[in-house]
Amino acid sequence: MNEGGRAEVDILVDKLMKGDISKEEVREAINGILQKYGEGAFNSYRVTRHMPPYSEKDIDELKVLAASGAASKEFFEYWADVNEYVRLSAKTQNKKGGFVHILIIAGRVAIVIFVVMCIVFAIRVFVLRN
Q: How many CB atoms lie within 10 A of CB 86?
A: 19
SS (H, E, C) 3-69: HHHHHHHHHHHHHHHHCCCCHHHHHHHHHHHHHHHCHHHCCCCCCCCCCCCCCHHHHHHHHHHHHCC
| pLDDT tens-place string over residues 2-58 | 666 888 999 999 999 998 899 999 999 999 999 999 988 999 888 889 888 999 999
**For the chain, what are the domain ranges?**
3-92
Of residues 3 and 66, the one with the higher pLDDT is 66
Residue 56 is predicted with a pLDDT of: 92
Nearest alpha-carbon partner for 49 in 82, 90, 19, 21 = 82
Of residues 1 and 64, the one with the higher pLDDT is 64
The whole-angstrom separation of Cα 123 and Cα 116 is 11
pTM, full prediction: 0.68
Residue 91 is predicted with a pLDDT of: 63
Residue 21 is predicted with a pLDDT of: 92
Residue 105 is predicted with a pLDDT of: 82
| pLDDT tens-place string over residues 70-100 | 999 999 999 999 999 998 886 665 555 566 6
